């Protein structure tokens, strides 16, 4: 006798099946916490990422684990759940045209002598932040006043970002010149890894920020990257998040979003410069 899709999702033997009702509870929870809207297609992803946690506690169902992360007694596990459901792959110089725009359009027009500040608002493991830092270092030099702030809701990815330590295969996409100038290859016990140069890391800082909540006092910025994030938000959440970030953008500053995203119908304050790039007048 076959199960209907509404009854359950059949998982591999090492995973635990989740009912539609259980998935709905987690979908509401992650939307409440992070503003992320999980489609039905993400049911398999949720099962794959949380099954180990369910089994870690010896629970027999996702309902038991749901009670665990919502009863308020284990904020660490609740944060780990958020980390598992919000972590996405990234890499150096992703969507390279955005960094070309920064290099050739934004930086030459920046007033000489004024500090330049950038924010990677969903920095994940830090590749976007360090890519930005490399472009700024090339333009201003390592002794000038510029900074890159990276934030994410996930503490685990921020730990990697702060360390600036990556496996060697993460070097893909990094121009050889930048590999030589800003990366230190590991030797002996660190062989097969590389570290972002300390001089570059001195210009960066990272902190946990939930874009679905009011933003703390983090200063203002000349450019903000919010790439490949809004695809996970519903329309109302997109509007609120962009409005919050726009308040942190300096006059004349730019907001950069992902190639699959748009601010059409989301925000009227920021003016389009070219597809995926907007300016605060």
End-to-end CA distance of the chain: 62
Please tell me the least confidently modeled range out of 94-103, 141-150, 164-173, 220-229: 164-173
Closest CA to 182 of 141, 243, 123: 141
Share of the chain above pLDDT 70, in %: 95
Cα 164 off chain centre by: 15
| 233-255 residue pLDDT tens | 999 999 999 999 999 999 999 99
Closest CA to 90 of 53, 132, 52: 132
| 104-157 residue pLDDT tens | 999 999 999 999 999 999 999 999 999 999 999 999 999 999 999 999 999 999
- Name all domains of the chain by residue range, CATH numbers in brackets: 20-86 (1.10.155.10), 96-279 (3.40.50.150)
| 198-217 residue pLDDT tens | 999 999 999 999 999 999 99
The answer to whether residue 158 scores a pLDDT higher than 80 is: yes
The Cα–Cα gap between 193 and 189 comes to: 9
Please tell me whether residue 173 adopts helix, strand or coil conformation. Answer: coil
The Cα–Cα gap between 53 and 179 comes to: 38
| 43-88 residue pLDDT tens | 999 999 999 999 999 999 999 999 999 999 999 999 999 989 987 7
Position 164 confidence tier, pLDDT thresholds 50, 70, 90: very high
Residue with tokens 């960066």: 204
The answer to whether residue 9 scores a pLDDT higher than 60 is: no
Catalytic residues: 49, 152
Q: Count other C-beta atoms under 10 Å from residue 154's C-beta.
A: 24
Which one is predicted more confidently, 174 or 2? 174
The Cα–Cα gap between 49 and 45 comes to: 6
Closest CA to 254 of 229, 274, 239, 232: 274
Closest CA to 133 of 121, 111, 150: 150
């Amino acid at each position: 006798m076959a199960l209907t899709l509404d009854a359950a999702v059949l998982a591999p033997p090492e995973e635990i099946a989740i009912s539609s009702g259980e998935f709905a509870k987690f979908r509401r929870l992650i939307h409440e916490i992070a503003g992320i809207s999980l489609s039905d297609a993400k049911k398999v992803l949720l099962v794959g990422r949380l099954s180990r946690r369910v089994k870690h506690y010896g629970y027999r169902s996702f309902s038991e684990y749901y009670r665990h992360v919502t009863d308020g007694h284990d904020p660490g596990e609740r944060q780990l759940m958020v980390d598992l459901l919000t972590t996405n792959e990234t890499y150096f110089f992703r969507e390279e045209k955005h960094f070309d725009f920064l290099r050739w359009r934004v930086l030459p027009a920046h007033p000489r002598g004024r500090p330049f500040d950038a924010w990677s608002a969903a920095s994940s493991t830090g590749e976007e932040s360090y890519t930005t830092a490399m472009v700024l270092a090339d333009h201003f030099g390592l002794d000038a006043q510029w900074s890159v702030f990276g934030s994410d809701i996930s503490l685990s990815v921020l730990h990697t970002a702060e360390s600036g330590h990556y496996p060697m295969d993460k070097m893909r996409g990094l121009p050889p010149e930048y590999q030589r100038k800003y990366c230190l290859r590991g030797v002996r016990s660190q062989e097969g890894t590389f570290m972002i140069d300390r001089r570059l890391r001195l210009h960066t800082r990272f902190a946990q920020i939930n874009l679905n909540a009011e933003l703390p006092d983090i200063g203002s910025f000349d450019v903000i990257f919010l790439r490949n994030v809004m695809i996970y938000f519903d329309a109302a959440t997109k509007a609120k998040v962009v409005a919050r970030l726009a308040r942190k953008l300096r006059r004349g500053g730019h907001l950069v979003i992902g190639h699959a995203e748009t601010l059409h119908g989301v925000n009227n304050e920021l003016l389009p410069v070219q597809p995926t790039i907007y300016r605060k007048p």
